[in-house]
């Protein structure tokens, strides 16, 4: 298939581009390199030495003979360049990773809130409008988040996108309906993903755009089979207080002897997926598009849940790392339970990689190899959700 990958220079997008190219798909990456510029803004870096796009693509061609094209386009603001590219490449599918994805970054200041809203909502809307204007029947696959649901239920499993409800009419009749699961965002970033859902529902209803929305959990790991082919293909590894996600941060912290930074009591339960499963899920979504008149297809893209405390204990047991319970900079529930339905991907043959599969030591090895690149000053999370959180801060 001809596939455009928006955000194909990023942590999830780059390995997905390589994986799908290795499977024979014709891949074009679109990215405005904003994530690399944010590293400059934050004076932070990927722990792993990621190469410029030109070197990445030249290496891929050299090692596999396969060509991946690249266009530097800001999809949130260069509408006509995006539209022209859709018309010229007539893709079967567009995979949309191109959003500002860090909750702490989105909460740093009014500037960061406004940037995240502007970038994410306009990127998604421009893509939808351009698909309609192009007149091409393109399957849009979007990377959403488990965070659209909030993290908790009343004991039931969080369904895949839609909730069955029963309503009582004024005449006393009982009516069954299915609605989008109520949105409950925990940050400005997560708020943009809940808004994306409404845009998909609208364009699907009004214009028949075929959409698959993947509600993904926290991605851990860094390398895939393809990024391992050559050092110059290495994937990024975020460890800083804004972009580093919890499990990868703990593993890196353990390697350098930095006490594991558990926020609060660590009772927050979250959903996880390994990067190697992320790329497989994208392939499954690509190969199973919704039919023309189907509603938006929603998959929960996660394979296991853990509390933050539990993760810290697993890492500590394996490495001897100390655990530090620190004041939580976020405004989030101190503890929650999380049960998630993920039968759709399992039904399509996904065989999940879990924390027990030994890949934790693979990440420890990478963190050890590149530990000299770590800037200790960038580890603390200093983005506070509100005034109260900032006042209670110890940093």
Whichever of 41 and 388 has its CB closer to ligand NAD, that residue is: 41
Segment interacting with ligand NAD (CB under 6 A) among 4-12, 156-164, 316-324, 364-372:
4-12
Tell whether residue 275 is a contact of ligand USQ (CB under 6 A): no
- Which segment (62-70, 74-82, 98-106, 222-230) binds ligand USQ by CB under 6 A? 98-106
145 is catalytic: yes
Selected from 5, 21, 25, 34, the binder of ligand NAD by CB under 6 A is: 34
Q: Does 31 bind ligand NAD (CB under 6 A)?
A: yes
271 binds ligand USQ (CB under 6 A): yes
Q: Interaction with ligand USQ in 99-138: which residues (CB under 6 A)? A: 101-103
Going from the C-alpha of 44 to that of each of 313, 368, 389, the distances in angstroms are 27, 18, 23
d(CA 220, CA 380): 19
Question: Which listed range, 39-47, 58-66, 197-205, 259-267, lies at the site for ligand USQ (CB under 6 A)?
Answer: 259-267
Q: How far is the CB of 336 from ligand USQ (least distance, A)?
A: 9
Which residue's structure tokens are 């959409």?
211
Q: State in angstroms the smallest separation of the CB of 245 from ligand NAD.
A: 5
Q: Judged by CB, which is closer to ligand NAD: 13, or 185?
A: 13
Residues 118-157 that bind ligand NAD (CB under 6 A): 119, 123, 143, 145
Q: How far is the CB of 190 from ligand NAD (least distance, A)?
A: 9
Q: Tell me how many degrees the CA angle 295-153-105 measures, rounded to the nearest 5.
A: 80
Phi, psi of 76 (to 5 degrees): -80, -20
Contact between 187 and ligand NAD per CB under 6 A? no
Handedness of CA 381, 374, 41, 68 (dihedral sign): negative
**Ranges assigned E (strand) in the chain:** 2-6, 26-30, 69-71, 93-96, 139-145, 162-168, 174-180, 210-216, 218-220, 260-263, 269-274, 297-301, 304-307, 323-326
Applying the rule CB under 6 A, the residues between 212 and 241 that interact with ligand USQ are 217-218
Per-residue contact string for residues 209-228; x = within reach of ligand NAD by CB under 6 A: -------x-xx---------
The option from ligand NAD, ligand USQ, none interacting with 297 (CB < 5 to 8 A, set by class) reads none
**Secondary structure of residue 269 in the 3-state scheme:** strand
**For residue 200, what are the contacts with CB-CB under 8 A and spacing of at least 6?**
124, 128, 140, 142, 209, 211, 213, 296
Residue span binding ligand USQ (CB under 6 A) among the ranges 120-128, 142-150, 274-282, 350-358: 142-150
Q: Nearest 10 degrees: CA dihedral of 211, 218, 220, 212? A: -10
**DSSP conformation letters of 39-101:** HHHHT---SS-PPPHHHHHHHHHHHH----EEE---TTT-HHHHHHHHHHH--SEEEE--S--
- Taking the complex as a whole, the smallest distance from the CB of residue 20 to ligand USQ amounts, in Å, to 21
**Are 215 and 145 within 8 A, CB to CB?**
yes
Interface with ligand NAD includes 264 (CB under 6 A)? Answer: no
Q: Which of these ranges, 42-50, 85-93, 125-133, 268-276, lies near ligand USQ under the rule CB under 6 A?
A: 268-276
HEC secondary structure over 191-235 = HHHHHHHHHHHHHHHHHCCEEEEEEECEEECCCCCCCCCCHHHCC
Using a 10 angstrom Cβ sphere, with 0-12 exposed, 13-18 middle and 19 or more buried, the burial of residue 372 is exposed
Give the separation between CA 290 and CA 272, rounded to whole angstroms.
25
Sole binder of ligand NAD in the list 4, 75, 311, 312 (CB under 6 A): 75
Residue 330 binds which entry of ligand NAD, ligand USQ, none, with Cβ cut-offs from 5 to 8 Å by kind?
ligand USQ
332 binds ligand USQ (CB under 6 A): yes
Q: Which residues are catalytic?
A: 145, 189, 193
Chain contacts with ligand USQ (rule: CB under 6 A): 101-103, 145-147, 217-218, 245-246, 249, 261-263, 268, 270-271, 308, 328, 330, 332, 381
Chain contacts with ligand NAD (rule: CB under 6 A): 7, 9-13, 31-35, 74-76, 97-101, 119, 123, 143, 145, 216, 218-219, 245
């Amino acid at each position: 298939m001809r596939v455009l990958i928006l955000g194909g220079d990023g942590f999830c997008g780059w390995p997905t581009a390589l994986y799908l190219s290795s499977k024979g798909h014709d891949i074009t990456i679109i990215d405005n390199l904003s994530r690399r510029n944010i590293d400059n803004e934050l004076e932070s870096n990927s722990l792993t030495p990621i190469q410029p796009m030109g070197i990445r693509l030249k290496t891929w061609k050299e090692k596999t003979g396969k060509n991946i094209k690249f266009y530097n386009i800001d999809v949130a603001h260069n509408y006509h360049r995006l539209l022209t590219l859709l018309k010229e490449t007539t893709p079967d599918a567009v995979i949309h990773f191109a959003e500002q994805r860090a909750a702490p970054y989105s909460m740093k200041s009014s500037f960061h809130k406004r940037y995240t809203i502007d970038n994410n909502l306009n990127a998604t809307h421009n893509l939808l409008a351009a698909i309609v204007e192009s007149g091409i029947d393109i399957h849009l696959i979007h990377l959403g988040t488990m965070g659209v649901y909030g993290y908790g239920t009343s004991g039931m499993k969080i369904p895949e996108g839609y909730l069955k409800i029963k309503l009582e009419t004024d005449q006393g009749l009982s009516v069954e309906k299915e609605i989008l699961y109520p949105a409950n965002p925990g940050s400005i970033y997560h708020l943009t993903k809940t808004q994306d859902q409404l845009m998909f529902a609208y364009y699907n209803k009004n214009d028949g755009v075929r959409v698959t929305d993947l509600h993904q959990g926290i991605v851990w790991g860094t390398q895939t089979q393809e990024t391992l082919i050559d050092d110059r293909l290495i994937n990024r590894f975020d460890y800083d207080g804004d972009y580093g996600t919890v499990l990868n941060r703990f593993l890196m912290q353990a390697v350098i002897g930095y006490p594991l930074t558990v926020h609060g009591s660590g009772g927050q339960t979250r959903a996880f997926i390994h990067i190697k499963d992320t790329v497989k899920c994208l392939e499954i979504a690509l190969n199973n598009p919704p039919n023309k008149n189907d509603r938006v297809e929603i998959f929960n893209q996660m394979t296991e849940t853990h509390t933050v405390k539990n993760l810290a204990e697993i890492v500590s047991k394996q490495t001897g790392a100390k655990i530090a319970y620190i004041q939580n900079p976020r405004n989030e529930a101190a503890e929650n339970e999380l049960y998630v339905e993920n039968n759709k991907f399992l039904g399509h043959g996904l065989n999940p990689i879990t924390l027990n599969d030994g890949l934790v030591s693979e990440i420890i090895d990478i963190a050890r190899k590149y530990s000299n690149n770590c800037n200790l000053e960038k580890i603390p999370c200093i983005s506070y959700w509100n005034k109260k959180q900032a006042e209670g801060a110890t940093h």
